[in-house]
Amino acid sequence: MKAVLFLALHTNDNQKWMVKDIYSRINVPQSYLAKILQELSKRDVISSSRGPKGGFYLSEANFDLPLIKIVDVIDGKQRLRSCMLSIKECDSDNPCALHDLVGNTNSEFIKRLEQTTILDLISDVKEGKSVLPL
């Protein structure tokens, strides 16, 4: 998520960043970041181009993607929707000890991730409503 937000703040179609120039700024291991950015690019969450002026960036279309798309690419669709205790049989008919405590909060969080775009977050940062020291 930090990498996508970094790209949203610092890139465009004409200004792209390489993994080697990003990883230390967001405090993420270089090899891990490279793998994540490649997967995000492959799944059209971010954009990339090859060549001497290549790198990763966000296109106009990328800004309109909901945050849940990032989470789904990195953690898989079921990660946020699965049981906090990793109990396969956990559901509303057979709840684990944390199910009722987490259930509504988790559903609301997922809903917010589905409704909030990358642009929404970056707009809040640019307007000073939130901070993102990247």
68-87 tens-digit pLDDT: 999 999 987 777 778 888 89
Neighbours of 133 (CB within 10 A): 5
Q: How confident is the model at residue 56 (pLDDT cuts 50, 70, 90)?
A: very high
Beta strands in the chain (DSSP E): 47-49, 55-57
Report the C-alpha gap between 2 and 80 in whole angstroms. 18
- CATH number 1.10.340.30 is the correct assignment for the domain at 1-65+118-134: no
Q: Is the pTM of this model over 0.75?
A: yes
- Domain regions of the chain by residue span: 1-65+118-134, 78-116
Residue among 44, 105, 31 nearest 73 (CA): 44
* High-pLDDT (> 70) share of the chain, %: 99
Please, which residues have CB within 8 angstroms of residue 89's CB and are 6 or more apart in sequence?
Answer: none
